[in-house]
Amino acid sequence: MEQLSIAWMLIVLLFVLLGSGLWIGLALMGVGWIAMEMFTNRPPGMALVTTVWGASSSWTLTALPMFVWMGEILFRSKLSENMFRGLAPWMGRLPGRLLHTNVVGCTIFAAVSGSSAATCATIGKMTIPELARRGYPDGMVIGSLAGSGTLGLLIPPSLIMVVYGVAANQSIAQLFIAGVIPGLMVALMFGLYVVAWSLKNPDQIPRDDVVYTFGQKIYESRHLIPAVVLIIMVLGSIYAGIATATEAAAVGVLGALLLCAAQRRLNWTTFYESLMGATRLSCMIALILAGAAFLTLAMGFTGLPRALAEWIDSKDLSPAVLIAVLVVFYIVLGCFLDGISMVVLTMAVVLPTIERAGFDLIWFGIFMVLVVEMAQVTPPVGFNLFVLQGMTGRDLWWIAKVTLPFFFLLVAAVALITAFPGLVLWLPQQMMGG
């Protein structure tokens, strides 16, 4: 099949460019440029300019630098350290101890951001330095953060759910409701994996010989008050209908600055360093997103995603085999497309196939979110991997390796919602029935 040959060639080319040390965003643009030059009649120059501008000026992306800045302020003001002091007494008895702060923190923050990259970046800014200082193993710290960061897509509000709802003509409100139970289920699976890993490797978890009484735990929890106030400000502004997620990000920055000032830790140095740190990380992510947008456009012009989807449709598979094939199909697509592009480019062909197989389209929306979550942690175009590479300076493939167990847990989550569709559909049906 000619299209498959083109796909393999472009994947190899992307690996070569990334291996050469070229910036990730520029490597993505390069592959897109070559694809358009070789396999389409369209001039790539104007397409590159308009696509990069469109990707960089998207209103929905403005939440990302604001949430990153909020995380920088919290990190530099030591509010994150206070959060750990408040959580430590409660998690000290759990196997894995403070490793659970990645899972718990990402689960809470996911209900604010709607973005996997923003969740990963903000929680990472707080947890990576603190867990490293306390001696927790780098592999589990970064792996659990990359995996848990994907919850930003599954726990509503979610940008991917909005895109799917529009593309599939489904109720976005129902999709949001449907994502709650699977989101909490995946968070629980991640937490249980941390427990199991810690029980198997007890020597790698720092000792915690301090025993707290219940009264001492309550007293230590006072350190959580600033973080809780900030969460209430952000979540409250969204669910009270006062602000959108993007506006709530600005509320979060303002709240972080006010809390920092109240603790007498806000000065020009803190302000400047937090702003520059957020600018650098946001620019890195923006360049990657711009490169991915252009590569996506080039893939659309070559007809590659549509050809692959039509090839699957032509095989007339049973429902279970169809889902298994789609999982593999989207994992492969996730190697070189971002999540929103995967949804937009394939929906027109995949949706009729899914309807003919008898699957509920709300259920399929949550399935799509889960496979897009996998794409967030699959090299070479996994955005959570890129974010963590930018934050830690570690090798991309090392980050992918330590994230692999969480990737397989997402595969298990897809198997669970396929075997038990009620995990997705029960809550929307109850809400509609009510």
Residue 197 is predicted with a pLDDT of 94
Question: Distance between CA atoms of 218 and 21, rounded to whole angstroms?
Answer: 50
Residue 405 is predicted with a pLDDT of 93
Residue 347 is predicted with a pLDDT of 73
Question: Distance between CA atoms of 380 and 132, rounded to whole angstroms?
Answer: 26
State the DSSP code for 342: H
Helix (H) or strand (E) holding 290: helix 268-302
Question: Distance between CA atoms of 98 and 87, rounded to whole angstroms?
Answer: 8
Residue 243 is predicted with a pLDDT of 76
Number of CB atoms found within 10 A of residue 422's CB: 12
Residue 195 is predicted with a pLDDT of 93
pLDDT in tens, the chain (434 residues): 566 677 778 778 877 887 787 887 888 888 889 888 888 788 888 888 888 888 777 675 677 788 778 877 876 776 656 766 777 778 777 888 788 888 887 887 776 666 777 778 878 877 888 888 888 898 999 999 999 988 888 887 677 787 788 777 787 778 888 888 999 999 999 999 999 999 998 888 887 666 778 888 888 888 878 777 877 787 677 667 687 767 877 888 898 888 888 878 888 988 998 899 888 878 877 787 788 778 878 877 877 767 766 776 677 778 888 888 888 888 887 776 667 767 766 776 677 778 777 889 999 999 999 988 888 888 776 778 888 888 888 888 898 899 999 999 999 999 999 999 999 989 888 866 54
**Distance from chain centroid for Cα 408:** 16
Could you tell me which residues come within 8 angstroms of residue 383 by beta carbon, excluding any fewer than 6 positions away?
A: 116, 117, 285, 288, 338, 339, 376
Question: Distance between CA atoms of 42 and 362, rounded to whole angstroms?
Answer: 37
3-class SS letters over 47-84: HHHHHHHHHHCCHHHHHHHHHHHHHHHHHHCCHHHHHH
Q: Which two tokens stand for residue 396?
A: 């991309």
Per DSSP, helices labelled H in 134-224 are 138-149, 151-154, 159-168, 172-178, 180-200, 214-220
Name the nearest CA neighbour of 371 among 403, 415, 404, 402.
Answer: 415
Question: Distance between CA atoms of 346 and 260, rounded to whole angstroms?
Answer: 46
Number of CB atoms found within 10 A of residue 11's CB: 15
Distances (CA, A) of 41 to 37, 184, 259, 305: 7, 47, 56, 18
Residue 333 is predicted with a pLDDT of 78
Q: Are 114 and 369 in contact (CB under 8 A)?
A: no
Question: Distance between CA atoms of 83 and 228, rounded to whole angstroms?
Answer: 9
pTM: 0.72
Task: Give the distance between the most distant pair of CA atoms in the chain.
Answer: 72
Question: Distance between CA atoms of 66 and 427, rounded to whole angstroms?
Answer: 32
